């Protein structure tokens, strides 16, 4: 009988445990708030001093998370810190750090491995480490496990290791951290029992799977399914466009079928921290087994080509009006990766803006959720959001709707724009200055 495991499970079940959340972004911060909400002591770790400063003041830096919620967590004892030497204090260390792709579209685990390296000197017996970052099957066992055991622990006996993929949907008011079922896989049966106890007090439904690898592949399947279906509907959009058929009308008709059809909608590409990236984690790992993921990669190619297709539609529409693309003034409407959030990660709008800029366009943007274009690893625009008024809209040669935020005044845009390029199907009825893309 494992007394260390039993004591850890007891502390989670009685909510006397201390929780450490490592990485306080779109995944980590909602977890902080949820654990605080039910009475756990929470320590939040991040290397970004500016984030910690704001959290210490009870302020949020994420648009859909209210500062009042952060302030309430602070009052409940939440401690944000950059001091990783405090990693010995929590009973659980939950890793919520990025897993991007390298320039060669291969998995970049540097954030995960650097984080683990920062924690290792301060690990102690009787903790559980949970990785939530999306990654390829085998990461937890092949990368985290040997590093922990090299530090002198025996995983499954005096230290515990699980993988439980995040399932956040920023800006979705219908699903919260508490209500979204959570998959959890452990390195061993005892590890899984600890993981289920860790999440069982804060998540309505925890779904156990047989291994960390099964949990890792579950997350990839969820996002690859979306990538493939979005790639399909984006290709269908291009076909429908050539046939002069409104793809949104077709989707609306098809979804009346009560079985066997799920509606997916086209756009200028795909964005966010998951769908553009996660499929390539699996394609990379599959090569180790001599497998080629043709279907997955083809969907990725279709989705990556969409920004260029949008630019071609803009160029043709301007040309039809005796206006060259080069030298045009164009306003991008919405640059976050999806409606009503401030999340810019992998936003296809940025790709469209870059292609237009490279072709000599004077590009600006308006986004109520992104007042200043943020610093990004691969993209650089020194721009601020333009206030939308009838005069400003009318001053551009073209406005292109890339993210359909609910705060936009679409009727005002319709009445004043010289040319509207709609990539989201927001304008369902045609008008003289509308081009659907």
d(CA 59, CA 74) in angstroms, rounded, equals 10
In the DSSP assignment, the letter for residue 386 is: P
**pLDDT at site 201:** 96
Catalytic (active site) residue 36: no
Write down the catalytic residue from 36, 96, 274, 398: 274
- The model's pTM: 0.92
Question: 20, 89 in Cβ contact below 8 A?
Answer: yes
For 17-163, where are the E strands, in sequence order? 18-22, 41-45, 79-81, 92-95, 128-131, 160-163
Residue 243 CB coordination number (10 Å):
8
Domains in the chain (CATH in brackets) are: 3-207 (3.40.50.720), 233-436 (3.40.50.720)
Give the pLDDT of residue 129. 98
Say what the pLDDT of residue 102 is. Answer: 86
d(CA 269, CA 278): 15
User: Treating both helix axes as pointing N-terminal to C-terminal, what angle do 67-75 and 28-37 enclose, rounded to 10 degrees?
Assistant: 50
pLDDT score, position 63: 86
Digitized pLDDT (tens) for each residue of the chain, 437 residues in all: 799 999 999 999 999 999 999 999 999 999 999 999 999 999 999 999 999 999 999 999 998 899 999 999 999 999 999 999 999 999 999 999 999 988 888 899 999 999 999 999 999 999 999 999 999 999 999 999 999 999 999 999 999 999 999 998 877 788 899 999 999 999 999 999 999 999 999 999 999 999 999 999 999 999 999 999 999 999 999 999 999 999 999 999 999 999 999 999 999 999 887 888 889 899 999 999 999 999 999 999 999 999 999 999 999 999 999 999 999 999 999 999 999 999 998 999 999 999 999 999 999 999 999 999 998 877 889 999 999 999 999 999 999 999 999 999 999 999 999 999 999 999 988 899 999 99
Backbone angles phi, psi at 421, to 5 degrees: -105, 115
| Share in percent of the chain as helix, strand, coil (round to 5) | 40, 15, 45
Q: What is the pLDDT of residue 64?
A: 86
Whole-number pLDDT of residue 40? 97
pLDDT exceeding 90 applies to what percent of the chain? 90
pLDDT score, position 155: 98
pLDDT of the residue at 174: 85
Give the model's pLDDT for residue 190. Answer: 98
- pLDDT single digits (tens) 9-60: 999 999 999 999 999 999 999 999 999 999 999 999 999 999 999 999 999 9
| The two structure tokens encoding residue 60 | 């949020």
How high is the pLDDT of residue 67?
A: 96
239: helix, strand or coil? helix
Output the pLDDT for position 1: 73
**What's the confidence (pLDDT) of residue 273?**
78
pLDDT of residue 184: 98
| DSSP 8-state assignment for residue 227 | H
Which of 42, 341, 31, 60 lies closest to 167, judged by CA? 31
What angle do the packed helices 294-320 and 348-358 form, to 10 degrees? Answer: 50
């Amino acid at each position: 009988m494992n007394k260390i495991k039993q004591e850890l499970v007891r502390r989670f079940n009685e909510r006397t445990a201390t929780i450490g959340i490592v990485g306080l972004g779109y995944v980590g911060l909602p977890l902080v708030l949820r654990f605080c909400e039910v009475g756990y002591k929470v320590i939040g770790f991040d290397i970004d001093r500016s984030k910690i400063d704001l959290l210490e003041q009870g302020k949020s830096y994420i648009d859909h998370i209210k500062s009042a919620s952060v302030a309430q967590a602070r009052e409940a004892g939440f401690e944000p810190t950059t001091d990783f030497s405090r990693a010995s204090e929590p009973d659980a260390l939950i890793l919520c750090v990025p897993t991007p792709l390298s320039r060669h579209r291969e998995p970049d685990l540097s954030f995960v491995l650097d984080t683990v390296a920062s924690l290792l000197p301060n690990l102690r017996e009787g903790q559980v480490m949970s990785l939530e970052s999306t990654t390829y099957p085998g990461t937890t066992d092949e990368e985290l496990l040997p590093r922990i055991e090299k530090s002198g622990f025996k995983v499954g006996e005096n230290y515990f290791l699980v993988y439980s993929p995040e399932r956040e949907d920023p800006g979705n008011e219908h699903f919260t951290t508490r209500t979204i079922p959570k998959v959890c896989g452990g390195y061993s049966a005892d590890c899984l029992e600890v993981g289920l106890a860790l999440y069982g007090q804060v998540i309505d439904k925890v779904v156990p799977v047989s291994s960390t690898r099964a949990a890792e592949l579950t997350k990839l399947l969820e996002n690859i399914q979306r990538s493939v279906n979005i790639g399909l509907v984006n290709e269908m959009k291009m076909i429908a466009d050539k046939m002069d058929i409104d793809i949104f009308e077709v989707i609306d008709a098809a979804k009346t079928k009560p079985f066997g059809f799920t509606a997916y909608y086209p756009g200028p590409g795909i964005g966010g921290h998951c769908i553009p990236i996660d499929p390539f984690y699996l394609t990379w790992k599959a090569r180790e087994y001599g497998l080629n993921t043709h279907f997955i990669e083809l969907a990725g190619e279709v989705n990556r080509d969409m920004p260029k297709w949008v630019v071609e539609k803009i160029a043709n529409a301007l040309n039809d009006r005796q206006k060259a693309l080069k030298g045009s003034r164009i306003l991008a409407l919405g640059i976050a990766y999806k409606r009503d959030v401030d999340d810019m990660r992998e936003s296809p709008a940025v790709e469209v803006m870059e292609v237009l800029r490279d072709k000599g366009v004077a590009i600006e943007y308006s986004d109520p959720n992104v007042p200043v274009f943020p610093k990004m690893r691969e993209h650089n625009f020194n721009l601020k959001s333009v206030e939308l008024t009838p005069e400003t809209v009318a001053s551009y040669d073209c406005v292109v709707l890339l993210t359909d935020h609910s705060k936009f005044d679409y009727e005002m845009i319709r009445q004043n724009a010289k040319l509207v390029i709609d990539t989201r199907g927001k304008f369902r009825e045609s008008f003289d200055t509308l081009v659907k893309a």
